[in-house]
């Protein structure tokens, strides 16, 4: 995939993880190159969230290897890792009474030392992150007063404020209406193209994954069953293998690739 000498930003090799005696990830292997936009798809319970949490080491343990920027995950302190990798969790509906600015500033944690207060450099990084994600206009609002789309923008900003080169997102657009979904997708593309940030996003939106990302990785039952460009994903056989159902497919008029549409009502 990469022609240059730089190692991939993320290398997952033969990674297995079980939680509570249940195998969640089995022999997962894939790479993510610097600057890539990768979508991870798969049915519920396929281990997508677990995989993201393993890369940012919210979940420890597991066998096999995960390397970030050429270094094994185990060689990083949590703080060092946070300077490279940002994470936007699934929206769980729980909110906290911080303002967007306060929350984004808290993303500077891996650059702060105890007893210290924030520096102009931190302020600048936070301002840049809010600018990039379009969160600046509501910087002074409390998180619990934001709409779902604004909230996601703030969460992306906080992860960017960390100085992350890699952004891991867990279903960033799942609960959003079409307008806010489009906004967040635009923000993520901008972060990726202009900010040079590598993006790995878990999603259930197969069409968006195929059209908008450089590559799609499909997990089923904790194993990678597909890794490749969206165009190759969008075939009857591959999708059926991933989701266990057949899709109705049509040609997308501008993307020039097949996309799925809602099944018709069976008579």
Partner 1 sequence: MSALSKGTSAAGAARGRRAWRLVGIFAAVAVVTAAAPFVGASFISPWRLMTGALGEMDSAIFWQIRLPRVLLSFLAGAGLAVSGMAFQALFRNPLATPFTLGVSSGASLGVAVYTVLGMALAVPGLPGVSVAAFCGALLAIAIVYGLTRLKRGFSTATMLLAGVALSFFFSSLILFVQYVADLTHSFQIIRWLMGSLDAVRYGSVLDVLPFVLGGSVIAVYLVHELNLLTTGEDIAASRGVNVSRTKKTVFLAVSLMVGGVVATCGPIGFVGMMVPHICRLMVGWEHRRLVPATLAFGGGFLVLCDAVSRVVIAPAEVPVGVVTALLGGPFFLWLLLGGGSEGGLLRGGRS
* Residues forming the site for partner 1 (CB under 8 A): 19-20, 53, 56-58, 77-83, 85-87, 89, 91-99, 101-103, 106-107, 109-110, 112, 114-115, 117, 136-137, 139-140, 143-144, 148, 158-159, 162, 175
Q: Distance (Å, rounded) from C-alpha 263 to C-alpha 267? A: 12
Q: Which is nearer to partner 1, 110 or 230 (CB)?
A: 110
81 or 216, CB closer to partner 1?
81
Which of 111, 92, 112 lies closest to 171 in space, CA to CA?
Answer: 92
Contact between 245 and 234 under an 8 Å Cβ cutoff? The reply is no
What Rg, from alpha-carbon coordinates, does the chain have? 19
CB of 229 to partner 1, least distance (A): 29
Q: For residues 210 and 199, what is the distance between their CA atoms, to the nearest angstrom? A: 14
Report the nearest approach of partner 1 to the CB of residue 205 (Å): 18
Q: Are residues 170 and 49 in contact, defined by beta-carbon separation less than 8 angstroms?
A: yes
DSSP secondary structure letter of residue 257? S
- Nearest residue (CB) to partner 1, 48 versus 57: 57
C-alpha span between 265 and 267 (Å, rounded) = 6
**Residue number, 175 or 226, with CB nearest to partner 1:** 175
Provide the minimum distance between the beta carbon of 5 and partner 1 in the complex, in angstroms, as a whole number: 29
Work out how close the CB of 49 gets to partner 1 at its nearest, in angstroms, rounded to a whole number.
10
């Amino acid at each position: 995939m990469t022609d240059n000498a730089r190692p991939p930003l993320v290398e997952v090799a033969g990674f297995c993880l079980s939680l509570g005696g249940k195998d969640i990830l089995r022999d997962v292997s894939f790479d993510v190159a610097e600057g890539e936009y990768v979508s991870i798809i798969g049915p519920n319970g396929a281990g997508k969230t677990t995989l993201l949490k393993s890369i940012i080491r919210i979940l420890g343990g597991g066998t096999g290897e995960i390397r970030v920027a050429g270094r094994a995950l185990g060689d990083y302190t949590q703080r060092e890792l946070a300077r490279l990798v940002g994470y936007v969790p699934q929206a769980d509906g729980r909110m906290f009474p911080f303002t967007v600015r306060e929350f984004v500033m808290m993303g500077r944690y891996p650059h702060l030392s105890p007893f210290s207060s924030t520096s102009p450099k931190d302020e600048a990084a936070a301002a840049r992150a809010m600018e990039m994600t379009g969160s600046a206009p509501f910087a002074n609002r409390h998180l619990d007063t934001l709409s779902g789309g604004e909230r996601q923008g703030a969460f992306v900003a906080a992860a960017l404020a960390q100085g992350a080169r890699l952004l891991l997102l867990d279903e960033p657009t799942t609960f959003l209406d079409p307008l806010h979904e489009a906004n967040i997708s635009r923000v993520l593309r901008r972060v990726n193209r202009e900010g040079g940030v590598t993006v790995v996003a878990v999603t259930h939106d197969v069409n968006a994954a195929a059209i908008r990302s450089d590559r799609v990785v499909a997990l089923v039952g904790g194993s990678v069953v597909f890794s490749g460009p969206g165009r190759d994903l969008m075939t009857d056989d591959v999708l059926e293998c991933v989701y266990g159902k057949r899709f109705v497919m049509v040609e997308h008029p501008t993307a020039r690739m097949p996309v799925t549409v809602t099944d018709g009502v069976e008579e």
